[in-house]
Structure 1
Amino acid sequence: MASLLLAGCSVGPDFKPPSLWSPTSWFDGRPPDPAHLAAAGQRRSHGRPLRVASVPVESPPDPHWWDQFGDPELSALEVRVAHANLDVRLATIRLVESRAQLRVTAANEFPSLNGSAAYTRTQLSSKEFERGLSDAVSSGGLGNLLGNGNTNALRAEAGSIKIPALDEWQDGIDASWELDLWGRVRRSVESAHASLQASEEDRRSVLITQFSEVARDYMMLRGLQAQLAILHDDLRVAQQAVTLTRQRFTGGLTTDLDVENAVSQVDTTAAQIPDLERQVAQQVNALGYLLGEPPRALRDELDRGARIPPVPPSVPVGVPSELARRRPDIREAEAQLHAATASVGVAVANFYPKVTLSAGLNFESLSLRDLGFWSARAYNFGPTISLPIFQGGRLRGQLELNEAQQQEAAINYQKTVLQAWQDVDNALTAYEDEQRRRDALDRSVRSARRALDLAQQQYAHGLQTFINVLDAERSLFNAQGQLASSTATVSSDLVQLYNALGGGWERTFPLRGAQASAAGRAGNPPS
């Protein structure tokens, strides 16, 4: 019975992991047919095979999803971001703070021991002794006892008495321990442990965000570089048109209007190059910032090659029921709900009596050499009970606050899960639709290129005006730019899909790290 009393109970609600509905499939029971789409890729258009569609499949996602793009530079950047990104490092510091806070809170489960030692030298006032003696004589009690003659003599000598200084030596140990009868301390430790888990998941969420930011910025950079290369090619085509019109003008086959129109097309194309170069420089700096590098530090490294990383033929997306275990933000929201629930228990326990056992063993002596003797000991022990009687509504207000925070955390958890499903569904839709747009632009570029070739040939033979050549050039240049942008967007949309799936942290911040840190809880010896 005594052991049961000491073990106590934990008041307040017990946390139960929430269970929410999730869709059975990302594809509404109609998964895409990879074989059918792959077969479609064998068809040919204008003598060239069409692109094979990239197909999401319900297989486990690859933690190193960036390797699916087959770009060594992108993979190298992703490896570096986990250790160099400043936001990840800040999240790691916040995790250290949470671990320290857990250790501080868990220390309340153990008795506290404090050693003390003191030395005091006391000099009493002779004047106070003389005044006290005079007061005793004046009151009549001391005079009646000793007689008037003796009291007069004693009063005369009181001023010459010198009181010696006293030395007092003390050492000892004090101990105190709260009997956690109602689980106040246990609930506090439970809340701190859940907060630590939330910090673990927050660090993983930050890492996933930085992985996707690096990949998206990289795709945008390669897309801009591809557009810049296309502009330089378009500029050469426009310059060739100027040469052709000048030759025809010299031969009297056209007017100077065609020459001026051709020169205008060259200047219009050339005017777009500085703006793209500025955007390229900004993207390089953006990637450098994500890697903790100063501006232009990655310029030489990222100037090599401008190919937009192609998407893989299949994209493993897993199943919806696994999303809650894979996305750190969902697990973080669950941990925050756990911490809020435990805090309600702490608020409830504050209404109950607080029982503390305290004890002390001290040695006191007026001489240092006598301090070690057992006869110099002094001790005390016993329980202390503190019962809240009137707090002006503070305890009730704290309980209402914690209960409201628990409800807020529960709603935030539902929002997080719903947002996760929406993120994946939106990313799947955007990825599929942008592929269709890219394929249409690819066909448009092929047709525009053939149209320009025909217009140039007919113009060279005098069968078309130069306006038709300019129109064909503009159509081709515009289609090429849109195709490069769409190709980069397809890769960016796949990055967004990987980000929505919540992968990428498994090997950098694995779960076993969280479990190892959680094992510290109250089991580690306090310090």
Structure 2
Amino acid sequence: MSAFFETPQHPLKLMVALLTCGAVSLAGCMVGPDFTKPDAGLDAVQLAPRPELASVIPMSEAAVPAQWWQLFNDTVLTALQGRALTGNLDLQMATERIEQSRAQLGIAAAQLLPSVGANTSYSREAISENGKFAALGAPSDPGNFWQMGFDASWEIDVWGRARREREGAAAALQATVYDREAARVTLAAEVARTYLQLRGTQAQLDIAQQNLSVAEHTLGLAESRERNGVATRFETTSARAQLATVKALLPELAQRRNAQMNALALLLGEQPRALDAQLRNAMPLPSLPSRVPVGVSSQLAHRRPDILRAEARLHAATADIGVAKADFYPRIGLKGKVGLEALDGGDLASWDSRFFSIGPTVYLPIFQGGRLQQRLALNESRQKNAALAYRKTVLRAWHEVDNALDAWGAQQRRHDELQVAYEQNKQALRAAERGYQQGAADYLSVLTAQRDLLDSQTRLNDSATHATLTVVNLYKSLGGGWDPETVQ
């Protein structure tokens, strides 16, 4: 609508506009701005790590898989994802919010339709013998009064207030749908992240057990050498201290493993320890995918449900401006009544007992104490805030993708170097143990080599775990975990 319709303080113009809209088309006049889909500007996103962090595993422009976790080829993880989709309580609450929004849309749409009601009444009446009706000669004897009929009313949506409300409710419904899909993306990432961390902790437990065996063997060797007089008590006590240090890792790692199994159970909507029997036994950490499909940047805004949610909220806020502007204009409606009434119930069947009334109604806001102006200002401010929230969501998505890509490349390169360090430390420990057994080296070199090996094993396992987690973060940032084509 032009600015002409946004100046309710001109009565003549208002009447002309009213007559014009009523004569041309009741559905043609809608005040307030029409929603325009914003440009996300994500075509410029670089879907590859920076050159200095180039990844070893190639990336392709193939579409992002909805069930990206299947790239790990882990049947347990796939099964957990399926159970989470049906059992997670946050996802169930998001689904119920969709039903609430759908009901709100139905309420808003109902304003465009007439309302019809039926009524029936009976009363026994008597007028005052000293009242004005008695003075006019009306009988004061008690009598019955019967009435039944139908009432109907319909507000003609000349200015589009009801249509804007329906438009806003439809956009709000879309926002709740995308809110559920955003929760689905987050859930898939959290299940995968917790599961991979669990496997990493179990691998660290296995490493600690291996180092425990090494420390026990070294202690036995030191005690034997001390008994034979070729080693000092320092070597024996140092070996016992190293053994205790390794043993101290076990309860901490076990507690972390148990907490991660409980975290998975919570994501699946189940009780603590519900997954212990299934997940307690250690399994290898899933290997990295052999290929990483990342799609194209032009589809990123369509794949991220949080961006689509922010867009829908902006649409709803824009429609609210039209609702607020329509409140400045007259409300025109039709109101009618038809029925039967009689003093004797037996006369209700007579055609002469009928009554009816029909006619237009007009409500014109004259003075509201500034309420309408402030409501319009409030909705305009909310629309601007929604626009800023949309821009922030897009910018955050861009940052998440860029950081995830760099982390993916960096972890691969870090893992390769830590693998070399682990192999070298393993050879160093063997050499130190041989030298110690042959008397060519002191125990300090063995102790140092043991600590270096334990440290490198821990770092390598952490790197392998983090490398898989970067895949999770990457697909979460790309909007993986739901299928955009299934949401209308």
Same fold (TM over 0.5): yes
* Residue of structure 2 equivalent to 1:454: 431
**Runs of 4+ more than 3 Å apart:** 27-34, 162-165
Query: Aligned partners of 1:104 and 1:22: how far apart in 2?
Result: 37
Counterpart mapping for 1:276-295 below 5 A: 276-295=253-272
Return the offset for 1:511.
Answer: 4.4
Ranges in structure 1 where 5+ consecutive residues have no aligned partner: 38-52, 143-161, 516-527
Larger Rg: 1
Alpha-carbon deviations, 1:29-70, whole Å to 9, x = none?
Answer: 989999xx8xxxxxxxxxxxxxxx333222211111000001
Return the offset for 1:247.
Answer: 1.6
* Residue of structure 2 equivalent to 1:78: 81
Instruction: Tell whether the 8 Å contact from 1:60 to 1:316 is kept in structure 2 after alignment.
Output: yes
Out of 40, 47, 64, which is 1:20 matched to?
Answer: 40
Query: Aligned partners of 1:73 and 1:305: how far apart in 2?
Result: 12
* Residue of structure 1 equivalent to 2:482: 505
Instruction: Tell whether the 8 Å contact from 1:360 to 1:380 is kept in structure 2 after alignment.
Output: yes
Return the offset for 1:88.
Answer: 0.3
Instruction: Tell whether the 8 Å contact from 2:49 to 2:409 is kept in structure 1 after alignment.
Output: no
SS at match of 2:153: strand
* Residue of structure 2 equivalent to 1:523: none
Query: Is 1:9–2:29 an aligned residue pair?
Result: yes
Instruction: Tell whether the 8 Å contact from 1:176 to 1:358 is kept in structure 2 after alignment.
Output: yes
* Residue of structure 1 equivalent to 2:150: 173
Q: RMSD over aligned Cα, in angstroms?
A: 2.3
Out of 187, 194, 198, which is 2:164 matched to?
Answer: 187
Counterpart mapping for 1:59-70 below 5 A: 59-70=62-73
Counterpart mapping for 1:168-317 below 5 A: 168-317=145-294
Aligned pair in 2 of structure 1 residues 276, 424: CA closer, same or farther (>3 Å)? same
Instruction: Tell whether the 8 Å contact from 1:26 to 1:319 is kept in structure 2 after alignment.
Output: no
Letter of the structure 2 residue corresponding to residue 427 of structure 1: A
Counterpart mapping for 1:27-42 below 5 A: 27=47
SS at match of 1:219: helix
* Residue of structure 1 equivalent to 2:124: 121
Return the offset for 1:444.
Answer: 0.8
Query: Aligned partners of 2:449 and 2:211: how far apart in 1?
Result: 12
Alpha-carbon deviations, 1:274-310, whole Å to 9, x = none?
Answer: 0111111111111111111111111111113331111
Alpha-carbon deviations, 1:449-473, whole Å to 9, x = none?
Answer: 0000000001000010001000000
* Residue of structure 1 equivalent to 2:103: 100
Out of 455, 466, 469, which is 1:492 matched to?
Answer: 469
Aligned pair in 2 of structure 1 residues 511, 174: CA closer, same or farther (>3 Å)? farther
* Residue of structure 2 equivalent to 1:372: 349
Query: Aligned partners of 1:114 and 1:487: how far apart in 2?
Result: 70
Question: Identity rate of aligned residues, in percent?
Answer: 43
* Residue of structure 1 equivalent to 2:417: 440
Q: For this pair of structures, how many residues does the alignment match?
A: 466
Return the offset for 1:257.
Answer: 1.7
* Residue of structure 2 equivalent to 1:397: 374
* Residue of structure 2 equivalent to 1:430: 407
Query: Aligned partners of 2:47 and 2:384: how far apart in 1?
Result: 33
Ranges in structure 2 where 5+ consecutive residues have no aligned partner: 1-19
* Residue of structure 1 equivalent to 2:8: none
Counterpart mapping for 1:457-496 below 5 A: 457-496=434-473
Query: Aligned partners of 1:217 and 1:27: how far apart in 2?
Result: 26
SS at match of 2:62: coil
Return the offset for 1:81.
Answer: 0.9
* Residue of structure 1 equivalent to 2:311: 334
Aligned pair in 2 of structure 1 residues 351, 132: CA closer, same or farther (>3 Å)? closer
Query: Aligned partners of 2:480 and 2:239: how far apart in 1?
Result: 52
SS at match of 2:286: coil
Instruction: Tell whether the 8 Å contact from 2:49 to 2:402 is kept in structure 1 after alignment.
Output: no
Aligned pair in 2 of structure 1 residues 511, 22: CA closer, same or farther (>3 Å)? closer
Query: Aligned partners of 1:444 and 1:399: how far apart in 2?
Result: 66
Aligned pair in 2 of structure 1 residues 313, 262: CA closer, same or farther (>3 Å)? same
Return the offset for 1:314.
Answer: 1.5
Instruction: Tell whether the 8 Å contact from 1:239 to 1:266 is kept in structure 2 after alignment.
Output: yes
Query: Aligned partners of 1:176 and 1:436: how far apart in 2?
Result: 73
